[in-house]
Structure 1
Amino acid sequence: MASAGGAAPFWRAAGMTYITYSNICANMLRNCLKEPFKSEAISREKVHFSLSKWVDAKPQKPTIRSDTPDH
């Protein structure tokens, strides 16, 4: 939603993207939770994905990765 006067959102004025701002807010919220909710929320923060190199238009064996965002 645009604000009157053409003012930029504060996260953009701070030089960050909305995704970066959103990740910071989500991380702060997770850290404010009490147990056992905090542990559950932090465990859902993990990201799982696979990478495959392509050689001669054929995928090679995928590499499974499991990373967590930096804190």
Structure 2
Amino acid sequence: MEDLAVMKLYAFRPNDIIDLHSQAFVDRLDWGLLERLIFDEGEALASSPSERSYQEMVCAYRQYKKEVLG
């Protein structure tokens, strides 16, 4: 689920945003693992096509987390 969340945060298309906000999706997320995948240098950053793309995904994640968790 967490890998899928990272992929959806990178794309951040309208259908991805809907999926990410689905209560079933939110309930299944391991937020600690998701944070590690996003912020550990050997994870999302290492597989990102560019630094800009990675920074946009981090911004999308922070917005998403604020909306979902408050």
- Asked if TM exceeds 0.5, the reply is no
Q: Structure 2-normalised TM-score?
A: 0.30
User: Per residue, is there more strand in 1 or in 2?
Assistant: 1
User: Per residue, is there more helix in 1 or in 2?
Assistant: 2
Q: Which has the higher contact order (CA 8 A, sep 6+)?
A: 2
Q: Structure 1-normalised TM-score?
A: 0.30
Q: For the pair shown, which has the larger CA radius of gyration, 1 or 2?
A: 1
